[in-house]
Chain A
Amino acid sequence: MVALVHAAFSLRQIRWKDVFLTAEKMGVNALSIIAVINFLIGLVLAYQSAIPLQKYGGQLFIADLLVLSIFRELGPLMTAIMVNGRTSSAFAAELGTMKVNEEIDALNTMGLDPVRFLVVPRVIASIFMVPILTVFGNLFGLIGGGVVMLSLGFPIVTYVNEMVSAATYIDLLVGLFKSLFFAIIIAGVGCFEGLRTKTGAAAVGESTTSAVVSGIILVIVLDGIFGVVFFYIGI
């Protein structure tokens, strides 16, 4: 944590090449899975809500439900969980293998701090990429809902107008704000579980498992805390 704060003040020392490489691996390459998952979530959510809302003739309000739940909750949360499963595990496995292979020791004896060298670039990449992925996740979730709305006979323009009137920028920003913290948890937990790896191949497996499990738990607990806090401060 100290190293992370320190890094914020010494931009020159950050290994930007590693940041971009990690950003590509965890961001660009994750786009398809994020798109598919969020598209399906949007689709399923719209169909499920179509049945009860139909009883009251309020199918148009699917748009309100979708945009609010996706912007505020499902977009950031599903994206974070996917990235956690995909990337946190990869970080833990990579750093864990480096630990087992004495590469972390090698960094130490070169006088290079593993946290500055390995953790900081990954956390920075994560802070950049998770919110961007969340924006894409949101978009694909809404497209998924749009397919359902089309099939129910609503024109796209009606769907979009209804969403625009239901949501504000605050709703979008609340989700993105949360995703910043999810990003830190995902990368941080993955890296530190990796660095804590003991010796042997089995230890790498344990670190990976524990990175994914604690990552998901922390993300969801934090999301719960944010939910309560936002409720009381009224945003």
Chain B
Amino acid sequence: MGADKKPIIQVINFTAAYGDNVIVNNISFEVYRGEIFVILGGSGCGKSTVLKHMIGLYEPAGGEILIEGEDIAKAQGEDRIMILKKIGVAYQSGALFGSMTVLENVRLPLEEYTDLSPEAMDLISMMKLKLVGLKGSENKMPSELSGGMQKRAALARAMALDPQILFLDEPSAGLDPITSAELDQLILRLAKSLNITFVVVTHELPSIYTIADRVIMLDKRIKGIVATGKPQELRDHSPNPWVRQFFNRETESDAIS
């Protein structure tokens, strides 16, 4: 597992709201270096919202989010870019730039942030694409790729600058079970070989059992965290029946009977 107990991300008394509509209220958690941390919960519980705050897209309505001790929401200019270089984000839809080839997509962060020669940039981009198993597709346009390939290409782009933390928003949503399992293995391999910290938002149970070192579970009824821990333990020993239902994939009536 390789996770030492030093937090790389600290979320402290964090509140997220769209206008007056509070999504999560006053939650705190930590992500440790090298672990695969999963944020999960039912639909509409604010998983993606929490993730989008952690990557600095929105400003928290309260509390703070620290990445290696620095507040991502308050950082400006160069400081902000320094923090952003430490993270990579693979979006739910892939969010590849449609006007560029796969290779150009991966090259873009390198072009913007390094002074490497074009050959070196191509070489690095190709390496990243090879890492995610997309060798041979580098000159295709994103629209020519299948859903799974787009997600892997997005992962390659997120890794272009060798970030310490990778954020994945629903990496296996909409993928067939085999592709989804391959993606899980890829995440495990990257976490182990490159010691990258992963923060993953998902509610795919098989994937959670395979990859997660630790999970937090959000519940929209209390607008906060209902459970924290290893997924297997929560499934078998959580005191909260709703959490056990979630992990056992039962309906509420199943649990009562």
Contacts and interface: CB of A to CB of B under 8 A. Distances in A.
Interface in A108-153: 108-112
Contacts of B109: 110
A24 interface: no
Contacts of A101: 93, 95, 98
A106 B81 contact: no
A109 B89 contact: yes
Nearest to A108: B57
B192 interface: no
A103 B105 CA distance: 11
Contact of A111 (B85, B92, B93, B95): B85
B56 interface: yes
Interface in B64-93: 80-81, 84-85, 87, 89, 91-93
B158 to A, nearest CB: 9
B97 to A, nearest CB: 6
A112 B93 CA distance: 19
Contacts of A110: 84, 108-109, 112
Interface centre among B80, B93, B95, B109 (most CB of A within 10 A): B95
A105 interface: yes
A103 B95 CA distance: 5
A106 B95 contact: yes
A79 to B, nearest CB: 26
Interface string A65-100: 000000000000000000000000000000001100
Interface string B2-31: 000000000000000000000000000000
B223 interface: no
A67 B159 CA distance: 59
A97 B96 CA distance: 12
Nearest to B83: A111
A109 B93 contact: no
Interface residues of B, number: 21
B72 to A, nearest CB: 10
B112 A109 contact: no
Nearest to B167: A109
Contact of B89 (A97, A98, A106, A112): A106
Given A102-B92, A102-B95, A105-B52, A111 B57 contact: no
Contacts of A106: 89, 91, 95, 97
Given A109-B55, A109-B89, A110-B84, A103 B97 contact: yes
A38 to B, nearest CB: 30
A111 B97 contact: no
Contacts of A109: 55-57, 84, 87, 89
B91 A105 contact: yes
A108 B113 CA distance: 14
Contacts of B98: 97-98, 101, 103
19 contacts: A97-B98, A98-B97, A101-B93, A101-B95, A101-B98, A102-B91, A103-B96, A103-B97, A103-B98, A105-B52, A105-B89, A106-B91, A106-B95, A109-B56, A109-B84, A110-B84, A111-B80, A112-B108, A112-B112
The 5 tightest CB contacts between A and B, nearest first, are: A111-B84, A102-B95, A106-B95, A102-B91, A111-B81
